């Protein structure tokens, strides 16, 4: 009988290219390897009630950076307590900010603070927490200190739990450190947990999408997404001559006769239309909070964005570049994109047809169904463009049939064909404005997820052109932009006198723009049932879900990207 020996594979030594891993991430790795990878390697983060509570629990221990006496001098020192001690171990490849270190009789004890109550488990604490304390002890030992045990202070129940540093816990901790550092070096995202109760309370569930990925890989029905804790919304400023400044934690918007104040915490993005000024301290405060500033023309077309240092997840952009430069993959994605756009436009037309030539409607619906099927097999991009153009022509030929009786009374809202440069009538002006808003929305979503919005698969790169944002908005044109146009006309929110003409171009007046933006934002806040996963989600959050699904698809976790298709 032969015995096969196995050896742990150590992680590579830490270098400038493989930085030290925070001990908190080792805790996360034991809790969920995918969570640790997303936070440490991909730089993802999302606050929740738990993280905010944990931050409050650490206010005292984080105050003031502590300094330990030298290891060789501990025996000669009286008992001491030091807070917020940061130490690292090059040997182990980890670094820790220790909440508290106590010294007594030549022995030091790391003490970690947790926000909750002591769990009633045999070991006194859960495995991730014990590993975190043990890792801190290993760092102290590597620095020459004598450590016999660790401890955890549970703020919720005000209890201190002793953590014994036995051989089993030490081995578990070293293994977790090596596994995390090896995974980081390999750059491969671990698979999600399967139907695990941890996921329902995880603040990164909407980023990780564990159930959604498992749905495609294992066929497991996804649970509803956690409701977003972020109630912030875009702030639009479009009054010519308006000025935006900062006062404390508040944005102050001033015009000649009006002053408006908005807390910075309630703003997800500052959008400036036309000649609006903003102070330097205001931009600095927004960048510090990672709130982008979008600069747009008076007509709503994006001129540029002011953002912070950008998303750290370079793996998403690497996968995006590889796919975009692969002509076969890019064409394959473009086919599904155009097919999804045609199908959504077809459903939108079928649902909203009010009056007109029913035979023409039925003929258009039948033709659009065929065009969508043909788009999936288009041999070239040129043919795909032709199919998209034919479907759009049939759709816009019947666009006026979706306008209600009230609109029919106003000749200003007559619509014959789509004209873009420039828009020749009020309906075309609103369509163009709606598409500009939708492009900006997708630009913000894609940037927030970690994509490069300027490199697409269907729309080709061009200076200043957000090609990927234009790609992703295609299936949502009828759902978000066209639906807003029809809504504001049929509901009388935008009146015929809300437009002005400058030569052949027609644009919206400020009041009409405000009404249109309000309707568009309401549409984003409406809840819909996701056609693939079956749960209810706000359209605003659904866009982020779709962007993250694209990231999972490009990374190889999902074979086919699931476009959002209305039914």
- Residues annotated within a binding site for Mn(2+): 388, 459, 474
Which residue positions form the known binding site? 388, 459, 474
Q: Which helix (H) or strand (E) covers residue 396, if one does?
A: helix 381-397
244/237 Cα distance (integer angstroms): 8
Q: What residue has token string 């509803």?
A: 224
Q: At 219, list the tokens.
A: 């066929």
Note every long-range contact of 376-379, with CB atoms under 8 Å and residues 24 or more positions apart, other chains counting. Answer: 376/335, 376/336, 376/339, 377/335, 378/331, 378/335, 378/338
- DSSP per position, 46-57: ---HHHHHHHHH
Q: Is 241 helix (H, G, I), strand (E, B) or coil?
A: coil
Query: CA-based Rg of the chain, rounded to a whole angstrom?
Result: 28
Question: Of 143, 79, 139, 133, whose CA–CA distance to 110 is shortest?
Answer: 133
Q: What residue has token string 């015929």?
A: 496
342/395 Cα distance (integer angstroms): 9
Beta strands in 168-323 (DSSP E): 233-237, 243-247, 250-254, 259-263, 267-273, 277-278, 293-296, 302-306
Q: At 421, list the tokens.
A: 């440069």
500/505 Cα distance (integer angstroms): 8
Residue 48, φ and ψ in degrees, nearest 5: -140, 180
Peptide bond just before 422 cis, omega within 30 deg = yes
**Left (φ > 0), alpha (ψ -120 to 50) or beta: where does 382 sit?**
alpha
Beta strands in 105-197 (DSSP E): 107-114, 149-154, 159-164
Q: What residue has token string 């089993």?
A: 168
Q: Is 306 helix (H, G, I), strand (E, B) or coil?
A: strand
Residue 51, φ and ψ in degrees, nearest 5: -65, -35
388/366 Cα distance (integer angstroms): 15
* 177, 170 Cβ separation under 8 angstroms: no
Question: Cβ–Cβ contacts within 10 Å for residue 401, how many?
Answer: 18
* 474, 458 Cβ separation under 8 angstroms: yes
267/448 Cα distance (integer angstroms): 15
Q: What residue has token string 């979503």?
A: 445
- DSSP classification of residue 478: I
Q: At 463, list the tokens.
A: 């200076």
How far does Cα 273 stand from its chain's mean position?
Answer: 24
């Amino acid at each position: 009988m032969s015995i096969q020996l196995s050896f742990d594979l150590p992680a590579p030594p830490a270098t400038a290219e493989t930085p030290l891993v925070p001990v908190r991430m080792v805790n996360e790795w034991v809790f969920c390897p995918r969570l640790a990878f997303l936070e440490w390697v991909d730089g993802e983060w999302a606050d929740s009630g738990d993280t905010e509570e944990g931050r409050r629990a650490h206010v005292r221990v984080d105050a003031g950076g502590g300094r330990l006496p030298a290891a060789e001098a501990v025996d000669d020192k009286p008992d001491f307590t030091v807070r917020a001690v940061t130490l690292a171990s090059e040997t182990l490849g980890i670094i820790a900010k220790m909440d508290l270190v106590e010294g007594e009789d030549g022995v030091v004890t790391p003490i970690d603070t947790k926000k909750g109550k002591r769990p009633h488990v045999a070991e006194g604490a859960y495995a991730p927490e014990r590993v975190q304390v043990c890792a801190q002890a290993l760092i102290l030992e590597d620095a020459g200190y004598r450590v016999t045990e660790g401890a955890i202070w549970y703020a919720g129940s005000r209890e201190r739990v002793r953590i014994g540093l036995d051989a089993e816990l030490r081995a578990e901790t070293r293994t977790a450190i090596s596994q995390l550092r090896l995974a980081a070096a390999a750059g491969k995202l671990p698979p999600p947990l399967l139907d695990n109760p941890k996921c329902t309370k995880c603040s990164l569930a909407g980023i990780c999408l564990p159930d959604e990925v498992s749905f495609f890989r294992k066929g497991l029905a996804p649970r509803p997404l956690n409701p977003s804790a972020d109630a912030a919304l875009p702030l639009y400023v479009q009054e010519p001559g308006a000025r935006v400044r900062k006062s404390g934690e508040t944005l102050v918007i001033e015009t000649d006769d009006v002053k408006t104040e908005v807390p910075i915490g309630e703003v997800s993005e500052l959008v400036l239309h036309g000649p609006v000024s903003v102070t330097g301290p205001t931009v600095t405060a927004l960048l510090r909070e990672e709130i982008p500033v979008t600069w747009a023309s008076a007509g709503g077309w994006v001129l540029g964005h002011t953002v912070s240092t950008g998303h750290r997840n370079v793996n998403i952009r690497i996968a995006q570049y590889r796919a975009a430069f692969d002509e076969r993959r890019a064409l394959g994605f473009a086919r599904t994109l155009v097919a999804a756009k045609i199908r959504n436009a077809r459903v939108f037309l079928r649902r909203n047809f009010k009056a007109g030539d029913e035979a023409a409607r039925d003929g258009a619906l039948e033709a659009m169904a065929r065009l969508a099927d043909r788009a999936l097999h288009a041999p070239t991009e040129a043919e795909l463009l032709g199919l998209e153009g034919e479907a759009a022509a049939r759709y816009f030929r019947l666009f006026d049939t979706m306008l209600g009786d009230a609109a029919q009374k106003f000749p200003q809202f007559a619509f014959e064909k789509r004209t873009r440069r420039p828009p020749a009538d009020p309906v075309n002006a609103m369509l163009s404005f709606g598409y500009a808003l939708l492009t900006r929305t997708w630009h913000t979503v894609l940037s927030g997820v970690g994509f490069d919005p300027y490199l697409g698969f269907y729309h080709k790169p061009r200076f200043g052109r957000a090609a990927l944002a234009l790609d992703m908005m295609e299936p949502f044109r009828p759902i978000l932009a066209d639906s807003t146009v029809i809504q504001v006309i049929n509901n009388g929110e935008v009146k015929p006198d809300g437009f002005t003409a400058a030569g052949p171009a027609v644009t919206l007046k400020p009041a009409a723009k405000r009404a249109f933006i309000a309707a568009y934002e309401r549409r984003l806040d409406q809840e819909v049932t996701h056609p693939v996963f079956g749960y209810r989600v706000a359209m605003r959050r659904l866009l982020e879900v779709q962007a993250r699904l694209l990231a999972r698809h490009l990374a190889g976790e999902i074979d086919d990207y699931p476009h959002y298709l209305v039914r």
